[in-house]
Amino acid sequence: MAKCAVCGKGAHFGQKVSHSHRRSNKMWKSNIKNVRVATSGGTKKMYVCSRCLRSGAVERA
């Protein structure tokens, strides 16, 4: 599973609880995009979450 290169956000695990309170495993996936980022040496492809993209933590190329 991919992780954000800026903040390190990845998948979260927990339990889904039904109305009758039966439990089963669940995974919440982060909204991670493969984007081209401008670096000092040129451009580079990185996995970045949508929150880091919106906040301007990375400069898109």
3-57 per-position pLDDT tens digit: 999 999 999 999 999 999 999 999 999 999 999 998 888 999 999 999 999 999 8
Q: Is the CB of residue 61 less than 8 Å from the CB of residue 36?
A: yes
Residues with Cβ within 8 Å of residue 50, at least 6 apart in sequence: 31, 32, 33
pTM score of the predicted model: 0.76
Strand pairing class (23-28; 32-39): unpaired
User: What does the alpha-carbon distance between residue 44 and residue 26 come to, in Å, rounded to a whole number?
Assistant: 33
